[in-house]
Amino acid sequence: MEYISNEDRWISYGVTILKILLVLILAKIIVKISDAAVDRIFIKREGDRFQKLRLDARRSETMRALVKNISKYVIYFIVFFNIFTFLGYDPKPILASAGVIGLAVGFGAQNLVRDVITGFFIIFEDQFAVGDTVMINNVTGTVQEIGLRITKIKAWTGEIHIIPNGSITQVTNLSVENSVAIVDVSISYNEDIDKVVKLLQEKGSQWKESIEEIVETPKVLGVERFGQSDIVIRITAECKPTENAKVTRQLRSEIVQLFEEKGIKIPYSTMVMMNPIEQAQKLKQQS
């Protein structure tokens, strides 16, 4: 009863709880201020006198997210030890025993350590960045987030794939260099190949001007193969990164319109249906 009725003890508990709440609130405020400061530092400004320190937009976004995560972890780590002090515990023995505990759990945390180390290498080697279109472990999509432990990729159909950094074994970055659109055009065997090739070459410069994603004049490579009822001519166009699929669709539409205007026929498969009864009657009449 004396323990429960001790007013000084309850006042001490109340003061301790109040200190903890104030520290947590202060930590929240510091995290927000830190995030705002990081955002301000990484804003790309034209003509800034610190131009040499500026990063390209994609790498800047990635580094900004990483710095925010690290600063948040550091702030809450400090808060954690302050709370221990308020509760009357000395955090120094905890730090001293951290090495022993770390050794004990180290074997179980190997994957976590590997994920973190791989995450650092991904960022500082600039393998890919936020906003890049990549193919990782047979998953293709846009990088949404690169964290210390995981990478989030959004597929074209909307799914979010969460991949541990340590499991990333092969990366194909589709956003670094220009892509190439490949269009195969079918024409009839009755058409003049040289005439069609010349026509496509003449239109190539116009397509470069009208389709903004194309960076070089499309090239007509010539006859790619002979089909059963068509001759296939291949066209390639260098375009902006990840825009090759869009350019391919646009070029096909342009080619169809061009062939319609010039009277060039695009062959298509046909099927002849034979009625055996009618054929037998015709043969009987002929005989």
What is the residue-wise DSSP string for the chain?
-HHHH-HHHHHHHHHHHHHHHHHHHHHHHHHHHHHHHHHHHT---TT-TTGGG---HHHHHHHHHHHHHHHHHHHHHHHHHHHHHHTT--HHHHHHHHHHHHHHHHTTTHHHHHHHHHHHHHHHTTS--TT-EEEETTEEEEEEEE-SSEEEEE-TTSPEEEEEGGG---EEESSSS-EEEEEEEEE-TTS-HHHHHHHHHHHHHHHHHH-TTB-S--EEEEEEEE-SS-EEEEEEEEESTT-HHHHHHHHHHHHHHHHHHHTPPPP--------HHHHHHHHHHH-
Q: Please, what is the angle between helix 57-86 and helix 110-124, to 10°? A: 140
Contact 241, 179 (CB under 8 A): yes
Contact 164, 113 (CB under 8 A): no
The rounded distance, in Å, linking the Cα atoms of 206 and 203 is 5
Nearest CA to 30 out of 66, 79, 64, 67 is that of: 79
Tell me the mean pLDDT in the region 80-85. Answer: 78
Identify the burial level of 237 via C-beta atoms within 10 angstroms of its C-beta, where 0-12 means exposed, 13-18 middle and 19 or more buried: buried
Is the pLDDT higher at 232 or at 124?
A: 232
The full DSSP string for 7-37 is HHHHHHHHHHHHHHHHHHHHHHHHHHHHHHH
pLDDT at 236: 95
Tell me the mean pLDDT in the region 174-181. Answer: 90
Residue type, 252: R
pLDDT at 98: 57
Residue type, 41: I
pLDDT at 279: 63
For residue 231, what pLDDT band results from cuts at 50, 70 and 90? very high
Which range among 126-130, 237-241, 283-287 has the greatest average pLDDT? 237-241
Domain coordinates in residue numbering, the chain: 2-106, 121-173, 179-262
Residue type, 27: A
CATH-assigned architecture of domain 2-106: Orthogonal Bundle (1.10)
pLDDT at 54: 41
β pairing state of 179-187 and 231-239? antiparallel
Pick the CATH number of 121-173 from 3.40.50.720, 2.30.30.60, 3.40.30.10, 3.40.50.300: 2.30.30.60
Which range among 56-70, 82-96, 231-245 has the greatest average pLDDT? 231-245
Domain 179-262 has CATH 3.30.70.580: no
pLDDT at 103: 52
Nearest CA to 56 out of 134, 158, 128, 133 is that of: 128
Tell me the mean pLDDT in the region 258-263. Answer: 91
Nearest CA to 88 out of 15, 8, 164, 177 is that of: 15
pTM for the model = 0.58
